[in-house]
Amino acid sequence: MAHTSATGSGVVLGLIRSGACTTRRDLLDALGWSRVTLERRLEELLDAGFIVRAGSRASGGGRPREEFAINRDLGLILSIDIGSSHTRVAITDLEGSVLSEDEADIGLFDGPEEIFSWSRQVFDFLLRRLGRPLADVRGVGIGVPGPVDPRTGRLGSPQLDPRWDGVLVADYLVDLDPDVIVAVDRDVNILALGEARFGWPEFRDLIVVKSGIGVGCAFVLDGSIVRGSRGGAGQLSAPLRARMSDPLRRLETVASGGTIRDDLSESGASVRTSAEIVALANAGDPEAARLLREAGETIGYALADAVGLLNPSAVVIGGNLAEAGDPYVGAIRRALFGAAHPYSRQGLVVERSRLADKAGVRGGSALALDALFDQDRISELTRR
């Protein structure tokens, strides 16, 4: 799509959607446009149904100022957060608020056919429960546990399960209307987007870790996800090697729910998912608690370099293993603070996810909404 004018309606919608400018006065001050141009753009957005009049705000003694807001009821967003062993789906409105959701112990290693067949059945059920037709869906946001090419939406290679190598997710959604926006990213990126947008809006720079059967890491710098040239940014390595010449090892090969599960199996405990590991530790199993603590320490050491390189305001720990609470998150914090450079740890916050298990689906919704409300796209649509 050709780049549209900087005075298009999409620019106005972006400011209203962010909450930064919701009145005519706010918009005129921020944009420096003429009142005639602004009125034309507002009318375009109102006529297209993208915004609604949302009441009035006191203006310091003068006439109350009319406010505008996103028309949250214009349509629906489907969100899918696919994990290694657990998947959550949700339906949100156009402001990202969750209207209905479901989950199951199904994940990456069940393969794309199984995942998308299951999710479609669940969405049909959730839509019926909401009394809304499939035609109301405006976008789909999906997180997958592996690199995604941000230009094409095609999954990179190699993936943890070869059945996902080179998959184009849109191929599994052909029954949707062609105008429905499909946006795909790594699962940890959508978790980070959810946390940055809805959980930690006071911080612009975050490192976000997703700890489950696998371990993923995402960087949020100046409010935006860092994806890298081919969608692979954020891969952490195990912090120790026998020799400097040894190749780097993926962090999840030494400190993840998968390694904890394997170690517990050798000692006779039967667990399959990361949630079951946490349940075992919370029930007082000393081996599960020890393994969680050791994994947390290793992750903390691995994060020290990233904290030194990026100097974030906060490190946010999400995923099922974070539900173990301080025994796990505290181990990450202690190891990180013990290893990081003194300057980079000044004022650093290391805490659990504020959105907990909803972070991924809210981030998936935000991903789809960002694509749906892309400024050039909206300017072009309303100009037609």
Q: What is the pLDDT of residues 255-268, one digit of tens each?
A: 999 999 999 999 88
The pLDDT of residue 2: 42
Ranges of H-type helices in the chain: 9-18, 24-31, 35-48, 111-130, 187-194, 257-266, 274-282, 286-310, 326-339, 359-372, 375-383
The pLDDT of residue 59: 58
Q: How many CA atoms lie within 13 A of 318 on its CB side?
A: 34
The pLDDT of residue 243: 85
For 294, the token pair is: 């050791």
For 118, the token pair is: 């299951």
The pLDDT of residue 189: 96
The pLDDT of residue 365: 98
- Cα(106)–Cα(85) distance, integer angstroms: 5
Q: Measure the N-to-C terminal CA separation of the chain; round to a whole number of Å.
A: 13
The answer for 307, left when phi > 0, alpha when psi is -120 to 50, beta otherwise, is alpha
Q: Per residue of the chain (384 residues), what is the pLDDT tens digit?
A: 444 468 899 999 999 999 989 999 999 999 999 999 999 999 999 999 999 998 766 555 556 789 999 999 999 999 999 988 889 999 999 999 999 999 999 988 899 999 999 999 999 999 999 999 999 999 999 999 888 987 888 998 888 889 999 999 989 998 899 999 999 999 999 999 999 999 999 999 999 999 999 999 999 999 999 999 888 899 999 988 778 888 999 999 999 999 999 999 998 888 989 999 999 999 999 999 999 999 999 999 999 999 999 999 999 999 999 999 999 999 999 999 999 999 999 999 999 999 999 999 999 999 999 999 999 999 999 987
Helix orientation angle between 257-266 and 286-310, rounded to the nearest 10 degrees? 160
The pLDDT of residue 1: 40
Residue type present at position 263:
D
Q: Which domains does the chain have, with CATH numbers?
A: 9-70 (1.10.10), 74-192+360-372 (3.30.420.40), 201-353 (3.30.420.40)
- Cα(18)–Cα(51) distance, integer angstroms: 13
Rounded alpha-carbon distances, angstroms, from residue 156 to 46, 258, 277: 40, 22, 29
